[in-house]
Amino acid sequence: MAWLYILWNRSTDRFYIGSTINLKRRLLQHNSGNTRTTRLLGTNELVYTEEYTTELEARNREKQIKSYKSKKYIKELIHGPVAQR
């Protein structure tokens, strides 16, 4: 199994989008400062996951979400469209 995941940093209100085949290990890496891109942000909260059969599928989905370059899209992905709340 492979995972697409989204982390959120409360203090900066920033999202990090990634993919991995070992979600538990990857989260530990992020929150222990072993990942360059999230090291300075401090603790990150896992707010969204999608499970895939292959790592390639998860990476393709990661690229797709990153290509949108939209915080609004990410928030809707996590919480659903505003009209549904």
Whole-number pLDDT of residue 83: 52
Q: What pLDDT, on a 0 to 100 scale, did the predictor assign at position 85? A: 43
Q: 9 and 41 in contact (C-beta within 8 Å)?
A: yes
| Rounded alpha-carbon distances, angstroms, from residue 76 to 16, 45, 53 | 15, 17, 24
Task: Using 50 as the pLDDT threshold, list the residues of the chain that sit under it.
Answer: 84-85
Note the pLDDT of residue 31.
84
